[in-house]
Structure 1
Amino acid sequence: MIQRIQSVLLFLAFLLNGSIFFNALYHHAVTDPQQWMGISFAIVLTLAALLPLVSIFLYNNRQNQLRWINIGLLAQLITLGFSCGIYVSLGGFGTFLWDETIGLGLLMLALVVQLVARKKIKDDIELVKSMDRIR
């Protein structure tokens, strides 16, 4: 399980998404006067953090693992959309939002890491199919 690079990448995506809970971007979302924004951001961020962690343990069934990663990618995109909305509502782009920019970058990096893990799982599926053809 841990020997596979996909497992390491998915755990890294879990850590990157989990670090947003300690970032200023999450703090601004929770303290927003419109409470639905903070609550929905927290729910989607929790999903985006837990789905890669859950999909690590589905290594026996690669198709099922790929399906869960695709759902995780959708949750990651929704989280990225929420965070972009929160970021823009704070006053646009500028050097005074450095901590929030780091949070946004971490979410984008988590998306890229999940995409790479998805590609590696697809490569494993193709490798197994080619080995079955040889037999």
Structure 2
Amino acid sequence: MLVIQRIQSVFLFLAFLLNGSVFFNALYSHAMNDPQAWIGLGYAIILTIASLGSLGTIFLYQNRENHRKWVSVLLLVQIITIGFSVGIYISLGGFGTFLWDETIGLGLLILALGAQLYARKKIKDDIELVKSMDRIR
């Protein structure tokens, strides 16, 4: 069975793409240009973990419980990434019509969170399906 045929793998790959696209967004460039260097470095590290974590968890499909556990940990990392992004976004001057590019970056991270949540739901559905088939045997 190919890995990418499973719907949760598609959504985890989508989360990888969405997180990775933030590296090319104005929100990331503002974080890197911040006078406090630790903010840009911390944001780059947590965004890299969130992005590569989504890609890495695709290959844990053989052990469903382990797969679900790592996706749940990845959800926490994604929430921390969104928190970092909101902090950077607010430090730019709050919410307004002049921050469209930064808003798109924040939206991409929220969409990635949604993709990870849906992937975790589908992994849970797979676990329940296998358990129900075991009861029938």
Do both proteins adopt the same fold according to a TM-score greater than 0.5, normalized to the shorter chain?
Answer: yes
Q: What is the letter of the counterpart of residue 131 of structure 1? A: M
2:42 aligns with 40
Unaligned runs of 5+ residues in structure 2 are none
| TM-score normalised to structure 1 length | 0.99
Structure 1 residues 1-135: aligned runs within 5 Å = 1-135=3-137
In structure 2, how many angstroms separate the alpha carbons of the residues matched to 1:69 and 1:16? 16
Superposed CA offset, 1:66-123 (max 9, x none): 1111111111000000000000000011111000000000000000110000000000
In structure 1, how many angstroms separate the alpha carbons of the residues matched to 2:5 and 2:51? 21
| TM-score normalised to structure 2 length | 0.97
Q: Percent identity?
A: 73
In the alignment of these two chains, the number of paired residues is 135
Unaligned runs of 5+ residues in structure 1 are none
Consecutive aligned runs of 4 or more in structure 1 exceeding 4 Å deviation: none
In structure 2, how many angstroms separate the alpha carbons of the residues matched to 1:3 and 1:91? 43
In structure 1, how many angstroms separate the alpha carbons of the residues matched to 2:130 and 2:19? 31
